Structure 1
Amino acid sequence: MTLFAALRLPREILFGKGQRHALPVVARKLGSRALVCTDERFAATAIFAEIMASLQAADINVLVHDRVLPDVPRDTVAVCVEEASAFQPDMVIGIGGGSCLDMAKCAALLITHGGKLQDYYGEFKVPGPTLPLIAVPTTAGTGSEATPVAVISDPDRTLKVGISSPYLIAMAAICDPELTMTCPPGLTAIAGADALTHAIEAFTAARRGSDHSLAQNHVFIGKSNLTDHFALLAIKLLGRSLEKACKDGSDEDARADVMMGALAAGCAFGTAGTAAAHAIQYPAGALTHTPHGLGVATMMPYVMNYNRSVSTNEMAEIGVALGLDAAGRSTDEMAEATIREISRLFAAIGITPTLAALGLAADKLDWTAEQAIGIERLIKNNPRPFDLTAMRRLIQAAYDGDLTASAQ
């Protein structure tokens, strides 16, 4: 057997309680002028003021852009870059949820290479390194601190769009679970379910071969031995602690598990990629205006059941990582139990169970299927192939809440 694997990660990852205090030292190695991207809510907190004071005490001049909006509307990036042009930053620091980190990636890109964001949509359109980026997540979900992707909303397009390039990976990721302690239960659930979906889709992604050109021509290249390691770690941590963190936000151990799980999931899917659950959420989310993490989690049990016939072994391994007892169970039985456990967990933390309950209109199912199957960079990662009929059937099953029908 010839092993093949690929992995693209930040140069430095710091994880643990209090690691935010390392930010000034990490930043000082990159220069003395920092553009900080965050949102209005976090900018108003005492902990943000403390972080800014620590940077200034390290003789780092700071320009704060504190108007990051959810889903990063395209034109808001140009506003941020224009404000920063005279400041001439040496680095960009993103502090906040996934949108804040994605704004920081986009700002670093345009400050360095100019042009418009539209010039970089897709894979490998970024021509070279950008300003160094430090990512400091305050939620535990997107994994953007470790991934090569920035997702934005373009007013000229119905669906959100992505910019995918290894040059967008943060120079350093500083993950301090104390920053997630004030996340409300609903946000904790949606973000954590997003992370668990990342991990499951990365672990069950298709193996795409070992051609030397694969990773040079594609950002997402399917599962490998290295991405599997991170995906299973994420599943283990999220399986044992996501429900706890949602029920008791003051549980420091649970918060640490969930944040480490989100980070590990980002490390996995940043190279392996995601698949059908994400492809369906793009059009479904555009129509229902629901949070990304909620939509992908709604779809996950149905997609797992669709893939079960070709991913039985992987599903069983996921069950073991979740802590299910494999004694006396066949691989098929473990796979079935795994899907039931994911459904149970998501129901326990308040994830919407069907596309109908998510608000998707019945007369939009065909359009949703057509759009989803057209997102090739995700569909090609799915372990079981799709045609339009199969996609339409899966979406109907998720709309009706018929888990059994999703396997057809």
Structure 2
Amino acid sequence: MTNALGLGLVRQPTTVLFGPGQRRQLGRLARRMGNTVLIVTDERMASTQIFAELKADLEDQGLRVSAFTNALPELPRSNVTEVVARFSDPAPDLIVGLGGGSCMDLAKACSAVLRYGGDVRDYFGEFAVPGPTVPTIAVPTTGGTGAEVTNLAIVFDEEKQMKMAIADTHIVPNVAIIDPELTVTCPPSLTAATAADALSHLVEGYTARPKNPSADQLASEVYVGKNRITDVFCEEGLRLMNRSLARVVEAPEDLSARSDVMFAAYCAGMVINTTGTAAAHAIQSPMAAIDHTPHGFGVGALLPYVMRANQPYAREEFARMAEILGVSSKGATDDTNGMAAIERIEELLGAVGAPLELASLGVREEHFDQIAKSAVSARRLVLNNPADLTEDLVKEVLKKGVAGDRS
């Protein structure tokens, strides 16, 4: 698992603004980027005073503002189609994605289709966007997905019943405004699910394969492995999650804890831009068609079993994780400390109420073949996993997950 070249690489927005109250900078930043702005958000957010204030701020800066307020969870392709149909003539100068991951992914997907036309399917895959897109500002209201800084837009294709991805540096938001105050009113279940998602990003990013990519691979592949810079973000994100993840559920009004978790989610987004995710995400995607569980809880439920399968192939990383999480023992073997790290991650997941087995999610043995076959077809994720992700390994993970076997 050693990156012998010492490569460091991250992909990121031009501007990241973090801190309580920083949403009030939206209008000033937006006015430098155009004259017309489209806000994409969901119905709940559109009904809030905060939405009204942000819209007024944009208007006070002289911008003409339109809004699409029907963004749906697990971003369906039909959302992209509807936005493009309603707002393409003329296209806005700027798109603001306000909300959770689906709202920000909607902004990113539409930024490509509104600029270059066609169907969102034309841009699925790696580096399929021809060039710069409609500029975007991402304003997250949950602490979890990291979509405010990622080069991914995940779209559920209803006809194919599959999640697909635009993976392209051209859709990274130009600006990310990360204001922890926006998460204080986030429903407890959503706080927990998105935090579990961010924790899984950090674990999978830290234990992903280092690939020592060539210059050609750096230019043509989104996921080019863990590296020196992503490890810095992972370690800080894990440290903050360890300190504040339980607190953010126990005391949702604790702005310090909210800030820690939201910064950790930002760190996780910076990581997966380069490392990608791995087995937990590859397995969860087809599993979601069966259990319909929130994404964060799905990957969180898989994580204990995926970590155990991967630990023998990432011993140093799991042992170092134990140090970061404050559970390592001096003189203990890497395997012993690695297991302590895994158990601490499970404690954190349990503290937010994430399920730690799969039977309660509706997964049964009869689903194993279907899930395994689909999971290993997600090649971009499979190649990131430290253990070879075969159908047999996926089935073993599922078997242990359904039984709750964390021995």
TM-score by length of 1: 0.97
CA distance in 1, matches of 2:390, 2:61: 57
Note if contact 1:185-1:247 (Cα within 8 Å) is conserved in structure 2.
no
1:180-259 matches, cutoff 5 A: 180-259=183-262
In 1, distance between residues paired with 2:130 and 2:109? Answer: 14
Q: Distance in 2 between matches of 1:5 and 1:328?
A: 31
Kept after mapping to 2: 8 A contact 1:297/1:351: yes
Is 1:97 the counterpart of 2:100 in the alignment? Answer: yes
User: How far apart are the structure 2 equivalents of 1:170 and 1:141?
Assistant: 17
Aligned to 2:77: 74
Aligned length: 404
Counterpart residue number, 2:133: 130
Cα distance between partner residues in 2 of 1:62 and 1:214: 40
- Matched residue, 1:284: 287
What is the match of residue 4 of structure 1? 7
User: What's the offset of the Cα at 1:84?
Assistant: 1.1
2:60 alignment partner in structure 1 = 57
In 2: Cα distance, 1:321 partner to 1:267 partner: 19
Looking at structure 1, the residues matched to 391 and 202 of structure 2 have their Cα atoms a distance apart, in angstroms, of: 26
1:360 CA drift (Å): 1.4
Conserved 8 A contact 2:236-2:264: yes
Shift of 1:345: 1.6
Q: CA deviation at 1:59?
A: 0.4
Aligned to 1:150: 153
Say if 1:390 and 1:88 are closer, same or farther in 2 by CA, change over 3 A: closer
2:19 to 16, 21, 27: 16
SS in 2 for 1:162: strand
Cα pair 2:301 2:354 within 8 Å, conserved: yes
User: Are the equivalent residues in 1 in contact too, given 2:245–2:257 (CA < 8 A)?
Assistant: yes
What 5-or-longer segments of structure 2 have no aligned partner?
none
SS in structure 1 of the partner of residue 356 of structure 2:
coil
Aligned counterpart, 1:263: 266
1:86 Cα deviation from its structure 2 partner: 3.0
Partners of 1:205 and 1:400 in 2: how far apart? 26
Query: Please, which runs of 5 or more residues in structure 1 have no aligned partner?
Result: none
Distance 1:311 1:220 in 2: 18
- Distance of 1:103 and 1:402 partners within structure 2: 38
From 117, 120, 124, give the equivalent of 1:117.
120
SS in 1 for 2:239: helix
Determine the structure 2 residue equivalent to 1:163: 166
The DSSP-based 3-state class of the residue aligned with 1:153 is strand
**What is the CA distance between 1:325 and its match in structure 2?**
4.3
How far apart, CA to CA, are the structure 1 residues paired with 2:161 and 2:359? 20
Amino acid at match of 2:130: P
Match of 2:301 among 298, 301, 306: 298
Of 343, 346, 365, the residue aligned with 2:349 is 346
Q: Which amino acid aligns with 1:264?
A: C
Counterpart-to-counterpart distance in 2, 1:386 and 1:137? 32
Once the two structures are TM-superposed, the CA of residue 328 in structure 1 deviates from its matched residue by 4.4
Aligned-pair distance for 1:164? 0.6
Q: Distance in 2 between matches of 1:387 and 1:262?
A: 29
CA distance in 2, matches of 1:323, 1:139: 27
- Relative to the length of structure 2, the TM-score reads 0.97
1:323 partnered with 2:326: yes
Corresponding residue SS for 2:166: strand
The alpha carbon displacement at 1:5 in A equals 2.1
What SS does structure 1 have at the residue aligned with 2:313? Answer: coil
Q: Is the 8 A contact 2:357 2:401 kept in 1?
A: yes
SS in 2 for 1:13: strand
* 1:206-254 Cα distance to aligned partner (Å, 9 max, x none): 0112311222121111101011111111111111101100111010100
Q: Percent identity?
A: 40
* CA root-mean-square deviation: 1.2
Q: Secondary structure at the match of 2:70?
A: coil
Contact 1:310–1:384 (Cα < 8 Å) also in 2: yes
Whole-Å Cα distance in 1 between the matches of residues 401 and 193 of structure 2?
A: 18
Aligned partners of 2:5 and 2:142: how far apart in 1? 38
Which runs of at least 4 in structure 1 moved beyond 6 Å after TM superposition? none
Residue 46 of structure 1 pairs with residue 49 of structure 2: yes
